[in-house]
Amino acid sequence: MSGPAVVMIVAVALIVLALVYYLVSVIFQLRKITAGLDVVIGNVVDILEKTAPVNDVVNDINGQLDAGVDLLEGLLVKKAGMIDSMGLIEGLYPGAAAAGLRNFPESGEIDAPRIGEVYTKGTLTLARLGREAPIAAANPAGPVLRAVEYGSSAARALYPEIRQERPEVMPRSPVIGTDSPEQYEQREDIGKPRKRLPTGPGASGSNSGS
């Protein structure tokens, strides 16, 4: 065999060795990639399973909240009127009236009136409900009518004096029981056989059947 042929064989052998080395290395890397992708696929499937009901749930929540907003906006506008509604909203949340109501696009163009802390219509409504609302009973510049901690006593103080003293002058409820301060005389015949059976036309029992 000639020299160039031997050199050619050596060169081809080197090429084959290089191919084997690199291709085997690539195979190992591809196996690592496959293993990593298996983990990714498992996690993605897990994510898909967890997020599957989100769409329906969120849509349902949004629908419920939309219904609530529709109800509250409609009720507010129905009861207070569009202009007063915007004034009330502006009084509670300054600047919110400019955004307007969602279901009433024209509400954003209304110049919201200034409505104070006491809304006259609400007070009159309470009065019509028979709650004896303290209309003009207190100075608006004074303390709040209803304290959070003493809400009951503060409200009671607004009513006429007789309502506050009445429970104090009323007699106390009687105390009953063996240790009550006032013991009543007991009849000795209670619980014993009758000394005389009831007779006569008004008596009931065996006489009625004969």
Partner 1 sequence: MTLWWIGDVLLFVAVIPIALYLLNGVLKAAKSIVPSVNQIAEATGAGSKELDAVPLLLTTQDQVRQTVAGVAGYGGSLDVIVDDAEVAS
**Chain positions contacting partner 1, by CB under 8 A:** 2, 4-5, 7-8, 11-12, 14-15, 18-19, 22-23, 25-26, 29-30, 32-33, 36-37, 39-40, 43-44, 46-47, 50-51, 53-54, 57-58, 60-61, 64-65, 67-68, 71-72, 75, 77-81, 84, 121, 125, 128-129
Tell me the closest approach of the beta carbon of residue 158 to partner 1, in angstroms. 21
CB of residue 28 vs partner 1: minimum separation in angstroms?
A: 9
Helices 54-80 and 82-92, packing angle to 10 deg: 110
CA atoms within 13 A on the CB side of 156: 10
CB 81, min distance to partner 1, A: 4
Query: Which residues does 114 contact at the CB level (< 8 Å), separation at least 6?
Result: 87, 90, 91
Shortest Å, Cβ 127 to partner 1: 12
Q: How far apart are CA 68 and CA 184, in angstroms?
A: 62
Structure-block tokens of residue 189:
């015949």
Task: Name residues whose C-beta falls within 8 Å of residue 70's C-beta, 6 or more positions apart in sequence.
Answer: 103
State which residue, 7 or 137, has the beta carbon closest to partner 1. Answer: 7
- The Cα–Cα gap between 132 and 126 comes to 7
CA distance 130 to 126: 7
**Amino acid of residue 159:** Y
Tell me whether residue 25 or residue 153 sits nearer to partner 1 (CB atom).
25
Smallest gap from residue 149 Cβ to partner 1 (A): 25
Nearer to partner 1, 121 or 163 (CB): 121
Give the count of beta carbons closer than 10 Å to the beta carbon of residue 101. Answer: 22
Report the C-alpha gap between 24 and 22 in whole angstroms.
Answer: 5
- Shortest separation between residue 144's beta carbon and partner 1, angstroms: 22
Q: Which residues pair with 104 in a beta bridge?
A: 101
